[in-house]
Amino acid sequence: MAISPILRIALPVALHRYFDYLLPVALSDHAALALRQGVRVLVPFRSRQIVGFLVEVSETTAVPLEKLKNAITLLDTAPLLPDKLLTLLHWVSRYYHAPLGEVLATAFPALLRRADVKDKISRKRKSNGLSESGASSTVDLLLESTELPSIPHLNREQQDAVDAIIQGWNQFKVYLLQGVTGSGKTEVYLRLIDYALQLKQQVLFLVPEISLTPQTVSRLTTRFNVPLAIFHSGLTEQQRLADWHRARTEKAAIVVGTRSAVFIPLQTPGLIIIDEEHDSAFKQEGGIAYHARDLAIMRAKIANHPILLGSATPAFETLWNADCNRYQRFFLSKRAGNAVLPRIQLLDVRAQKLTAGLSSGLLTKIQQHLTARGQVLLFLNRRGFAPLYLCHACGWIAPCKHCDSPLRLHQNPSSLRCHHCGDCQKLMEICEGCQQAQLFDLGHGTQKLEKILTAYFPGIACFRLDTDSTRKKQRLTTLLKQVQAGEPCIVIGTQILAKGHHFPAVTLVAIIDADAGLFGSGFRSLEHSGQLIIQVAGRAGRAILPGEVVVQTHHPHHPLLNQLVQAGYESFSQLALQERQRAGWPPFSHLALLRAASRHPNQAMDFLHQIKQQLSNLAISTAINPLIGSYSRPVANPPPLKLLGPIPALMEKRAGYYRAQLLFQAHKREILHQNLQIARKKLETIKAKSVRWALEVDPLELI
């Protein structure tokens, strides 16, 4: 029925529908009609007040009049997000099957999403006369940049990449810069950023980890005398808000950030750079499970400008896209300066005596490198002291109460911790199974390695880099600085060592256990361990000193491992991609995962069985009626949609929840999405008593 204007609002709640409101009492009809989509509106919602987003102003509503409430107030007169960003967010909502209100909310800093906080910054600014950059996180860094070093010469490969990308400027295209570790990818980025700055265009530069922002920012500020914005979750909300505004109002020319920065509004975007594009940290876990790289590509497409993906070890999806000429690829095959790429040797540890997992051959090498005043870097992907705490008398293993996982033994303080739910308990002396005092630790983690090596190499400093040692703010920076001082030392670390930090004095890199990754169960585990080995190896021999890389394995004849160390990542990936293709996994199919979790055993599985039952009919109808046309004959081979499972999660019980999953697999994206849409509507009607569910598009792993 026709009444005065209705505000159709997207709310940040897990509901796939909009809510209609009457105008705020103080607002005239005329003013309402001038409103544009994306404007924030404060509305009453059940018993609370929340910030929603205007989708449209309508003349009609299907909601009974008595149910309509007045909006409380309009928070913006004009949308804070540019139209093209709104277009992107609509796409995100459709692609990830997430409610638009939730998607929009993630694109705003928390201070602009809260009902109780008005823009504190602007009030403070007015009161004490601070400039807009006053609260920003970048001001100190700008003051630090005093020296302007000479610009390095580009080699042929670098120059070709720069030339070609500049040639294709001002239009959408995806470029892949595949350069070996230390090949000067950053210098290519800097030349392109320089070009964008000359054209007064803004650059969005994404890195996978917060810890990588300082080195990126320092490279940028020593080179360019322009204001930067920094955006990641390690900053305070005030800083995030200030830098968000600085990007939005074009006061910042370059934005450096982690995955959440992909949503930052830009006035004049000209280029996006995704550094270390293979890194799974670009994938958001929990909430809206988006992939910042994929989103950035869509963002560049909508804004019609180039995007550059850089990595020594590109993701298989990315390689495949380059192989299919969807992306243009450039190789950087030589290291910058005189540095040479270290040779990787496999060290057969079968039947060898191992000390904390180290063979005597490796121990000798460590000693040699330390004597030659080199640094040694040891990669062990197992944190804590020991992975098991068990009873010698009866075999009892200390379990986590909330997960199907053993507790890990930690030291300083001695404790048992769960690596999946974070639970921590005191060490027991007596076995809970047989009451005897014969408990001992089995296996070794980074803490034990540190302890043993400190004793083995007296007088040599040992630094441990893992999530436990770097949890405190600034701790990682301090540790990195100590290592970068260059004195002979041993660095022991987990994944952090694969993250692009610089260790110029490292001459020996050793991967303690390559086998764990090679035989992982996930379809991506081979890809990830290949990337890990190459990235960790790449830490060696960056400066003048030549490097050596040792990989310990019980499978020295593993074909793909040999391909990797002898022929390199590129030919390893070609081989591994063929295996992917045979198995039909991404990028040769598209996946979505329906996860369910319940506090009660079996309920998640029962729920998914029920869903599958209902969807199977639908899957068949898809086969005979693909939505592209209305053919009535069945599509034989391959089936357009497969529903696999449900199966219990690999670790069925985690943090007190029993988990299961149902996998959707399709060879065409449209088919997957059409079915997910129908599935989602079904899910909302089914009574899911005490079962939580979530739909994840493009899962990285099937957990």
Partner DNA sequence: AGCACGCCGACT
Partner DNA sequence: GTCGGCGTGCTC
| Contact residues for DNA, defined by CB under 7 A | 13-15, 17-21, 43-48, 61, 63, 67-69, 687, 689-690, 692
Tell me 256's DSSP state: E
Nearest-angstrom CA–CA distance, 289 and 596: 15
Nearest-angstrom CA–CA distance, 187 and 162: 10
- Give the pair of three-digit tokens for residue 254: 């370059």
Least distance to DNA, CB of residue 67, Å:
5
Nearest-angstrom CA–CA distance, 490 and 508: 10
Beta bridge partners of 390: 397, 440
Least distance to DNA, CB of residue 585, Å:
29
Of the pair 10, 346, the CB lying nearest DNA is at 10
Q: Are strands 358-359 and 489-493 parallel, antiparallel or unpaired?
A: unpaired
Least distance to DNA, CB of residue 574, Å:
43
> What strands lie across the sheet with 506-511, from one edge to the other?
343-348, 548-553, 506-511, 375-379, 489-493, 461-465
Nearest-angstrom CA–CA distance, 558 and 434: 42
Tell me whether the omega of the peptide bond preceding residue 559 falls within 30 degrees of 0, making it cis.
Answer: no
Least distance to DNA, CB of residue 251, Å:
33
Nearest-angstrom CA–CA distance, 105 and 78: 17
Of the pair 45, 457, the CB lying nearest DNA is at 45
Of the pair 15, 33, the CB lying nearest DNA is at 15
Least distance to DNA, CB of residue 165, Å:
43
Of the pair 47, 167, the CB lying nearest DNA is at 47
Neighbours of 183 (CB within 10 A): 24
Of the pair 87, 106, the CB lying nearest DNA is at 106
Q: What is the 3-state secondary structure of 51-65?
A: EEEEEEEEEECCCCH
Of the pair 13, 139, the CB lying nearest DNA is at 13
Of the pair 13, 655, the CB lying nearest DNA is at 13
Beta bridge partners of 176: 309, 329
Residue 307's alpha-carbon distances to 88, 226, 271, 300, in angstroms, are 15, 21, 6, 6
Least distance to DNA, CB of residue 114, Å:
12
Tell me 691's DSSP state: E
Neighbours of 190 (CB within 10 A): 20
Of the pair 18, 457, the CB lying nearest DNA is at 18
Nearest-angstrom CA–CA distance, 432 and 430: 6
Of the pair 9, 549, the CB lying nearest DNA is at 9
Least distance to DNA, CB of residue 683, Å:
9
Least distance to DNA, CB of residue 173, Å:
39
Least distance to DNA, CB of residue 694, Å:
8
Of the pair 392, 599, the CB lying nearest DNA is at 599
Least distance to DNA, CB of residue 15, Å:
6
- Give the pair of three-digit tokens for residue 429: 């002396």
Residue 453's alpha-carbon distances to 266, 386, 461, 492, 701, in angstroms, are 50, 15, 10, 10, 35
Least distance to DNA, CB of residue 73, Å:
14
Q: What is the dihedral angle through the alpha carbons of 627, 631, 635, 641, rounded to the nearest 10 degrees?
A: 20
Least distance to DNA, CB of residue 550, Å:
48
Of the pair 61, 311, the CB lying nearest DNA is at 61
Residue 478: name the closest of 147, 145, 211 by CA.
Answer: 211
Q: At what angle do helices 83-95 and 292-303 cross, to 10 degrees?
A: 140
Least distance to DNA, CB of residue 68, Å:
5
Beta bridge partners of 652: none
Least distance to DNA, CB of residue 689, Å:
4
Least distance to DNA, CB of residue 681, Å:
14
Contacts of 564 (CB under 8 A, 6+ apart): 344, 530, 533, 534, 572
Of the pair 54, 228, the CB lying nearest DNA is at 54
Burial class (CB in 10 A: 0-12, 13-18, 19+), 396: middle
Secondary structure (DSSP) of 667-694: SSHHHHHHHHHHHHHHHHHS--TTEEEE
Nearest-angstrom CA–CA distance, 551 and 364: 14
- Give the pair of three-digit tokens for residue 684: 């909302």
What residue type is 79 in one-letter code? P
Residue 398's alpha-carbon distances to 391, 431, 472, in angstroms, are 9, 8, 28
Of the pair 376, 594, the CB lying nearest DNA is at 594
Of the pair 18, 664, the CB lying nearest DNA is at 18
Residue 444's alpha-carbon distances to 203, 447, 448, 453, in angstroms, are 45, 8, 6, 12
Least distance to DNA, CB of residue 3, Å:
13
Of the pair 424, 686, the CB lying nearest DNA is at 686
What are the two backbone dihedrals, phi and then psi, of residue 197, each rounded to the nearest 5 degrees? -65, -40
Of the pair 41, 666, the CB lying nearest DNA is at 41
Nearest-angstrom CA–CA distance, 365 and 510: 10
